[in-house]
Amino acid sequence: MIREILNGIYQIHIPLPGNPLKVLNSYLIKGRERNLLVDTGFNWPECKQAQLKAMTALGIDWADVDFFITHAHADHVGLVGELASKDTKVYCSKTDAQIVHNFMHSNYWAASDIYFSQHGYPPEKLHRKKDDIDDYISAGGDIDFTWVEDGDIIEVGDYRLKCIATPGHSPGHMCLYDAEKKLLFSGDHILGGITSNITSWGGKIDLLGLYLASLRKVDALEIDLVLPAHRELILDHHQRIAELIHHHDSRLKEILNILRNGAMNSYQTAGHMHWDLTYDSWDEFPDYQKWFATGEAMAHLEHLAELGQVQHIKHGEILMYQLTK
């Protein structure tokens, strides 16, 4: 489906078959000479067909299309290697551009598996292979990114888009903001009806703390319309941000209550948390859902550690968390 949201801005529904997100909202901004496509979809035939069909319907030549990638996740960057030409600009934060390149190396995934194992995730369930990423991101290691930083301006047609750094959902997540038109392309930073997965990406970065700070940063902007990467458009970003902050505050309180039963690792903590999924017990969760849940538990536990409300303890090679006494 293609619909014109504002003059020269078209929302393109990119199907994500078999994925709980169902659809990616890709956005095409028509310019006078160059056009800008915000996010692409996975490197899947269904996604590519939808993009090709949309550009044909809009009368757009791919040679005249540049890309803005809000962040490194495959449903946002997956088709760039397929659709970009040699003269195409692919805008992305330096941080997430490097992550996309790292995705294409097996040592990245080996380090990720070690990190999750240290947080209690069963090693025998870590059966992902580097080759799997090729099914999601086309030629990610070959993408020649044009790095953008907070405050940089991209002008397309009638729109003057300011890059807004919003780390949290990914370490280098970036939004686009037109101050005059009070318009925000939010990527996965703010979604309506669902919450973005805030996970730990390794190391000692407090991603949840960064995410909450990014929410407050965007809350201070004058915005009439938010164009998110999934679900419906958002008309009241203040209300939605308040809901998201409340959600994570409730999560943090839930985890503190769980740890009253004693020290736990991230995997064990995730197994005691409430998830809005249609399974009767943690044991019924598919492995990939357990992986996402463990990552989210990690991010919340690390934020609590940053706040001084929990502390780390080691049990052999496993990192545990307990309430600060």
In terms of domains, do 236 and 252 share one?
Answer: no
In terms of domains, do 290 and 223 share one?
Answer: no
Average pLDDT for residues 80-106, to the nearest whole number? 93
How far apart CA 294 and CA 120 sit, in angstroms, is 9
In terms of domains, do 152 and 72 share one?
Answer: yes
Average pLDDT for residues 227-235, to the nearest whole number? 97
Measured in whole angstroms, the distance separating CA 283 from the mean position of its chain's CA atoms is: 26
The count of C-alpha atoms lying within 13 angstroms of the C-alpha of 154, restricted to the half-sphere facing its C-beta, is: 30
Average pLDDT for residues 60-70, to the nearest whole number? 96
Write down the pLDDT at residue 322: 96
How far apart CA 92 and CA 285 sit, in angstroms, is 34
In terms of domains, do 281 and 136 share one?
Answer: no
How far apart CA 282 and CA 69 sit, in angstroms, is 34
Strands 159-165 and 174-178: antiparallel
In terms of domains, do 193 and 80 share one?
Answer: yes
71-89 as b/e: b if 16+ CB within 10 A = bbbbbbbbbbbbbbeeebb
In terms of domains, do 198 and 59 share one?
Answer: yes
Last residue of a domain, one of 187, 220, 244: 244
Question: Phi and psi of 84, rounded to 5°?
Answer: -75, 145
Give this prediction's pTM.
0.94
In terms of domains, do 174 and 291 share one?
Answer: no
DSSP of 24-38: EEEEEE--SS-EEEE
Lowest mean pLDDT among 125-139, 189-203, 219-233, 286-300: 125-139
pLDDT tens per residue, range 255-275: 999 999 999 999 999 999 999
How sure is the predictor about 254, in pLDDT bands with cuts at 50, 70 and 90? Answer: very high
Say whether pLDDT at 249 is over 90.
yes
Write down the pLDDT at residue 183: 98
What's the total number of domains in the chain?
2
β strands within 153-297, DSSP E: 153-156, 159-165, 174-178, 183-187, 225-228
In terms of domains, do 235 and 302 share one?
Answer: no
Last residue of a domain, one of 244, 260, 279: 244
Say whether pLDDT at 67 is over 90.
yes
Write down the pLDDT at residue 101: 94
How sure is the predictor about 284, in pLDDT bands with cuts at 50, 70 and 90? Answer: confident
How far apart CA 282 and CA 275 sit, in angstroms, is 9
How far apart CA 202 and CA 116 sit, in angstroms, is 9
Say whether pLDDT at 50 is over 60.
yes
Average pLDDT for residues 82-93, to the nearest whole number? 94
How sure is the predictor about 301, in pLDDT bands with cuts at 50, 70 and 90? Answer: very high
Structural domain including 280 reads 248-323
Say whether pLDDT at 325 is over 80.
no
Write down the pLDDT at residue 127: 66
Last residue of a domain, one of 244, 269, 303: 244
Write down the pLDDT at residue 130: 52
How far apart CA 161 and CA 140 sit, in angstroms, is 25
Write down the pLDDT at residue 134: 72
Average pLDDT for residues 285-293, to the nearest whole number? 89
In terms of domains, do 281 and 195 share one?
Answer: no
- We report the CATH number of the domain holding residue 306 as 1.10.10.10
- We report the CATH number of the domain holding residue 118 as 3.60.15.10
160: left (phi over 0), alpha (psi -120 to 50) or beta: beta
In sequence order, the 6+-apart residues with CB closer than 8 A to the CB of 147 are: 91, 92, 93, 94, 97
Write down the pLDDT at residue 105: 86
In terms of domains, do 256 and 236 share one?
Answer: no
Show the tokens assigned to 323. Answer: 């309430």
How far apart CA 316 and CA 280 sit, in angstroms, is 32
Say whether pLDDT at 181 is over 90.
yes
Say whether pLDDT at 129 is over 60.
no
How far apart CA 26 and CA 182 sit, in angstroms, is 19
How sure is the predictor about 128, in pLDDT bands with cuts at 50, 70 and 90? Answer: low
Among residues 50, 39, 159, the alpha carbon closest in space to that of 100 is found at: 39
Say whether pLDDT at 135 is over 90.
no
In terms of domains, do 127 and 237 share one?
Answer: yes
What average pLDDT is seen over the chain?
A: 94
Bridge partner residues of 160 (DSSP) = 155
pLDDT tens per residue, range 165-175: 999 999 999 99
In terms of domains, do 181 and 281 share one?
Answer: no
Q: Which residue has the higher pLDDT, 254 or 123?
A: 254
